Amino acid sequence: MKRKISCLILICFLILAGCSKEDEWIESISSSEAIEVETTTSSTVFVYVCGKVKSPGVYELPNGSRYADAIKAATDRLKEFADRVTIVRNNYCNIADVLDELGIVKVDGIILDLGVSSYQLDTAERGFTYNVDAPLDMRMDQRQQITAKDIVNTYSEFDLYRIIRDYGEDKFAKNIAKHIVARRTEKPIETTFELNDVIKAAIPMKCRINGGHPAKRTFQAIRIELNHELDVLESSIDTMIDRLNADGRLCIITFHSLEDRIVKVRFKNNENPCTCPPDFPVCVCGKKSKGKVITRKPILPSEEELSVNSRSKSAKLRVFERAGEA
């Protein structure tokens, strides 16, 4: 490596922004010198926070809490670097505020691992997967009042068509929206399997045979709409680049073409922001390049990675490097 990485920003996308009681103790951690998570056979999880932190002590969370699980996993994985790690529960769109609160002006590296986590997919009651029957939820932030059920049962036929077309890129979007509206006039669509049945009925049998699970694209579309995933991504990239040190890098892993397209365009615009007509002999707009795109083509998972992590199949990594005088 050309130089020592002095600051690592690790962002765990547990939920979207806001504050609850669980946030209060998480936000009290300013330096994770010592964080231990102990699960018991009872219904509680005890978290011991000590060392150079604002509020050391013992904190109790319900067993199975997604925050406790994520913190325990992150703490175990980063145990070797405990004196250099700060775990923050927040949305990455608030990275500027988080850095300001931590007294960090700029960083050497930022990594975004987008999309739904394996933990969320494997927790059936979260409603993210079409493979298990569960309530239609799909909220990344469970404090949010609106759920996937609300979108499916209250959006107009046109709006359902729009999000399935734009966010799911499904060529049967219009027919799927039509079938959803027709079915919900009989009774509300409340579970993942009920939605599956509606989608299957809207797609011709011959197209269902070779096209993967018929509900995949619609579920993706509803999840993106509910959690504003693309809006958050597009509005955050420039801020992250601005907070990089000279030669610092922003690395983003995407899992579908909509995310990848946004990252590709934003990186390109930051590399060449000039808006002058191409026939102008010199730039007069005054917009300066912030750096360069390292990955002209995205980095894809290796065969070895795919053999141990099949969910990485659609992953694409793109990297942007800040200019030398950030």
Q: What pLDDT, on the 0 to 100 scale, is given for residue 174? A: 96
- Would you give the distance in Å from CA 36 to the centre of its chain? 26
DSSP state at residue 78: T
Q: What pLDDT, on the 0 to 100 scale, is given for residue 7? A: 44
Residue 3 has pLDDT above 80, yes or no: no
Residue 213 has pLDDT above 70, yes or no: yes
In this prediction, residues 212-230 reach a mean pLDDT of 90
**How far is 81 from 25, CA to CA, in rounded Å?**
21
Q: How confident is the model at residue 119 (pLDDT cuts 50, 70, 90)?
A: low
> Which percentage of the chain shows pLDDT scores above 70?
75
Q: How confident is the model at residue 192 (pLDDT cuts 50, 70, 90)?
A: very high
- At 109, which helix (H) or strand (E)? strand 107-113
- Segments in 131-215 forming alpha helices (H): 148-154, 157-168, 173-184, 192-202, 205-210
Q: How confident is the model at residue 28 (pLDDT cuts 50, 70, 90)?
A: very low
Bridge partners for 253 per DSSP? 113, 317
Helix (H, G, I), strand (E, B) or coil at 264: helix
User: Which residues neighbour 30 within 8 Å (Cβ) at sequence distance 6 or greater?
Assistant: 52, 53, 54, 86, 102
Q: How confident is the model at residue 183 (pLDDT cuts 50, 70, 90)?
A: very high
CATH topology for the 130-227 domain: DNA polymerase; domain 1 (1.10.150)
Q: What is the pTM of this model?
A: 0.71
Q: Where are the domains of the chain?
A: 130-227
Helix (H, G, I), strand (E, B) or coil at 133: coil
In this prediction, residues 293-317 reach a mean pLDDT of 91
Query: Exposed/middle/buried for 180, CB within 10 Å: 0-12, 13-18, 19+?
Result: buried
* Phi, psi of 135, rounded to the nearest 5 degrees: -60, 145
Q: What pLDDT, on the 0 to 100 scale, is given for residue 114? A: 87
Q: pLDDT tens across 72-107, in order? A: 777 777 788 878 888 777 788 889 998 998 899 999
User: Among the ranges 3-17, 158-172, 201-215, which has the highest mean pLDDT value?
Assistant: 158-172
Q: How confident is the model at residue 210 (pLDDT cuts 50, 70, 90)?
A: confident
The length of the chain is 326
Q: How confident is the model at residue 139 (pLDDT cuts 50, 70, 90)?
A: confident
Residue 14 has pLDDT above 90, yes or no: no
